[in-house]
Structure 1
């Protein structure tokens, strides 16, 4: 097994303890790009503890200093993404002792899990709200945590009014930083000095405004975008070519990057949020279909038959339309299921496993539910309802074409939405999105 280009470019920088903003198209191996350095930090700490007398655990409030051995904390916006990261970390082997802290799960069982693992805990993965609850209630302490990873960082720290994570996230990082600065003398941890924490941003779409917000609210000092060579060769603006810029100018602070691109933030906000983002896999083909609004779901069904897809993800904008889509498509011979925010955790996990194992052919989801989902066999994405902006389109399209596999993205637009379609086409001018017709289940 060989590392991907994005892993080769980013792992040495992360191991060196430098703040990093990692951007590349989905399915390029970004998760392993930060899990492998965390594994190395964990092994270094184990070797250091083996060479000297183990520091005795100090009694704290109620449960004492629990989880003080964790070298890293990974924050993700959704429960499904947290479970996926936890599964990958446990598969590595060296990070077998991982604690998952997500909302909707039994908090008492999570406390018992933290207490049972104790100093053996290597990594904490969770959602911002639940992590903050455990830290403020002193159920979890992370004095040795030297790295905080924000997976899907654009969703976590964006300035969008829909963002509910930003406040918890800044308080979470500040609390970990205080615990690290006040850790007992002789308690080693991480790869950085004193109370400083290494911040790693990971996403398929990182705009200058997101980087600026991270600099102001999280205290990031050095930022470099690491972009896969395939993205750089796709006719994208040179300002996104981080490798070339870093070779010419060296490391830059976030404020310097914002100064150099001070006009980018305004340009990214124009055209109702549509902007060019270099994060689309080159192995994916894109198409668009125009139909009347009332025929959207029927068109999606015909597209599934026309492409003869193995796994299909259908994206809609609201939970209610997700249920309507499932009800109408299930009346045909297509087996499908769905995910929604109000589902119990066990039911969501069951539906997701059915889709991964091939028991159902199609899965209907909303944008939030599908953030970071990794299904290697998914070869088709259908946007039954158009995305809100280009960032949503990028993350939807990233569910297919994983690790260089071929994939197809079909977007269904109403005739009245041609203006929205033109804005999207203008933002994604570096890729070809032809218009197709589907007649009697056959693509033309």
Structure 2
């Protein structure tokens, strides 16, 4: 059907949502696995999307991360693929995601149900051996979970064919477009079975995502559930106004809290710099960014989830595809400059119906830009001026003084230096302000130096006079 014909046709009403998984007619193996994992009733996006996914309808879902989208498409995809067997290099279903972390998370979420149905999963992402992934496809995998770049590489190597794919899912479609993957996404969609089922999930449905919807989805059942991370009362949003030299000290005290915390910065260098400082201060911190090898990224995430790492310092690579149970605090050490980035960072907390707090550290010169981003994100934060060591900072974030005992055997973190370059100094303190005023050892040292210079000048004068 042409795009114009689709635009003129009357949409078919979506099937009504269900109140329980038992109403869906899912395979007994799936129901048993849901029960074993303590999944007793569907989240709203699951209750709405699954009846249509199981019926083979194209599905267009909009909802924030953490709303349960993976099982919303995954249970339908697995149930409709059950009983079929893939030929080598020819998967039957495809899930496209923007990041390695999200691919891993989707794979982990679907694995128990796939195993119960005797379906084989293959996860193909960059940063790890392509040869091993090629071997998994040669052995046959009914479902492939892939990032667009690595899938493109495997297709070019003729290690993967998509012509037998009958169910295709685009998860976090807006981020795939934002990251420049649109050509690889359309390449894949042009190769899958033309009469197959397509399901697209996205936080936003504008720009390139709208083009994908109009071009590839036929009469989709549309579901919009909790579209904004800023909506509702699940997340408390705070802007903390900090003095430039104090930002690191504030971040350090927050990171030393009792419990896990996710801290976002803009660049890999900033992430590594803060992580080193936190570990030298006694905080069990680890860095996550695109410069890390995939096995290292996987290990770091596992350590954060099991509590070995309590402060995860990351770039936006962790803004999507990271699910950690009971993560109740996210800190923007570098304020987000895009509303979607803010919402996805915020979406790492208050997941699966829980509550959480998002804190943004803002310098005086960043207030206008941050206000714009918050407004466009639909967020009305509580604004508070704080300094390190203050009770109000502890009340909002649980901040406390770090132990100061280095974790890696090196010297303790340097005392904060008071100068105005953001992300250089590590805070300021009253005892330092007294230094350099002529009192204490610093004053005595300067007096001794001045006395030596005066004595040398007198000796030089005597020499000139012949004395």
Same fold (TM over 0.5): yes
Q: TM-score, normalised by structure 2?
A: 0.70
CA distance in 2, matches of 1:206, 1:225: 13
Q: Distance in 1 between matches of 2:230 and 2:171?
A: 15
**Contact map agreement 1:95 1:123 (CA 8 A) in 2:** no
Equivalent pair of 1:336/1:361 in contact (CA under 8 Å): yes
The 1:167/1:294 distance shift into structure 2, 3 A limit, reads: farther
Counterparts in 2 of 1:145 and 1:76: CA distance versus 1, 3 Å: same
The aligned residue for residue 80 of structure 1 is: 101
Per-residue deviation at 1:103? 0.9
Deviation at 1:38, TM superposition (A): 0.8
Aligned residue in 1 for 2:184? 168
Aligned to 1:332: 281
The Cα shift of 1:79 comes to: 1.1
Shift of residue 85, structure 1, vs aligned partner: 0.9
Distance 1:19 1:278 in 2: 25
Match of 2:365 among 416, 427, 435: 416
User: Residue 25 of structure 2 aligns with which residue?
Assistant: none
Runs of 5+ in structure 1 lacking a partner?
Answer: 50-56, 58-64, 181-194, 232-239, 241-276
Q: In structure 1, how many angstroms separate the alpha carbons of the residues matched to 2:232 and 2:212?
A: 26
Secondary structure at the counterpart of residue 74 of structure 1: strand
Q: Give the superposition deviation at 1:439.
A: 4.8
Which runs of structure 1 show a deviation greater than 4 angstroms over 4 or more consecutive aligned residues?
A: 277-281, 428-432
Alpha-carbon contact 1:425-1:433 (below 8 Å) kept:
no
Structure-1 separation of matches of 2:229 and 2:308? 34
Instruction: Describe the shift of the 1:71–1:409 C-alpha distance in structure 2 as closer, same or farther (beyond 3 A).
Output: same
SS at match of 2:94: strand
Deviation (angstroms), 1:301: 1.7
Distance 2:137 2:71 in 1: 24
Larger radius of gyration: 2
2:66 paired residue number: 27
* Structure 2: tracts of 5 or more residues without a match: 1-39, 394-467
TM-score, structure 1 as length reference: 0.74
Among residues 288, 306, 314, which one is paired with 2:239 in the alignment?
Answer: 288
How far apart, CA to CA, are the structure 2 residues paired with 1:35 and 1:407?
Answer: 26
* Structure 2 CA distance for aligned equivalents of residues 114 and 428 of structure 1: 41
Contact 1:309–1:379 (8 Å) recurs in 2: no
2-side partners of 1:382 and 1:295: how far apart?
15
Deviation at residue 8 of structure 1 after TM alignment: 0.5
Q: Is the 8 A contact 1:287 1:436 kept in 2?
A: no
- Residue of structure 2 equivalent to 1:103: 126
Structure 1 residues 151 and 281: alpha-carbon distance in aligned structure 2, compared to 1, 3 A threshold:
farther
How many residues are treated as equivalent by the alignment?
352
Matched residue, 1:221: 218
Measure, in 2, the Cα distance between the counterparts of 1:333 and 1:154. 39
* 1:66 aligned onto 2:63: no
Would the alpha carbon gap of residues 112 and 211 (structure 1) be closer, same or farther in structure 2, given more than 3 Å must change?
A: closer
Q: Secondary structure at the match of 1:85?
A: helix
Contact kept in structure 2, 1:157 and 1:213, CA below 8 Å: no
- Name the structure 1 match of 2:205: 207
Match of 1:433 in 2: 382
- The equivalent position to 2:249 in structure 1, one of 294, 298, 310, is 298
1:442 paired to 2:391:
yes
**Paired residue secondary structure (2:373):** helix
Q: Do the aligned residues in 2 keep the contact of 1:66 with 1:141 (CA within 8 Å)?
A: no
Secondary structure of the corresponding residue to residue 334 of structure 1: coil
Deviation at 1:15, TM superposition (A): 2.1
Conserved? CA contact 1:7–1:30, under 8 Å: yes
Mapping for residues 63-212 of structure 1, pairs under 5 Å:
66-68=88-90, 70-92=91-113, 93-94=116-117, 96-116=119-139, 118=140, 121-158=141-178, 163-176=179-192, 180=193, 195-203=194-202, 205-212=203-210
> Whole-Å Cα distance in 1 between the matches of residues 176 and 60 of structure 2?
14
C-alpha deviations, 1:166-225, integer Å up to 9, x for none?
11111111122xxx3xxxxxxxxxxxxxx223322223x213324422135x52233454
Deviation at 1:365, TM superposition (A): 0.7
Shift of residue 429 of structure 1? 4.5
